[in-house]
Amino acid sequence: MPAPLRKLSGDPDCKNGTCPTLWVTEDEKDYVVQGHVITDPDRLAQLALPDGETAVAVPVAVLEGYFHDAQR
pLDDT band at 72 (very low <50, low <70, confident <90, very high): low
Q: Residue 12's Cα: distance from chain center in Å?
A: 14
Task: Flag whether the pTM goes above 0.85.
Answer: no
Dist CA 8 CA 54 (whole Å): 21
Q: Is 5 exposed, middle or buried (CB count within 10 Å of its CB: 0-12, 13-18, 19+)?
A: middle
What is the number of structural domains in the chain?
1
pLDDT band at 71 (very low <50, low <70, confident <90, very high): low
pLDDT at 43 (0 to 100) = 94
Give me the domain span that covers residue 27: 5-70
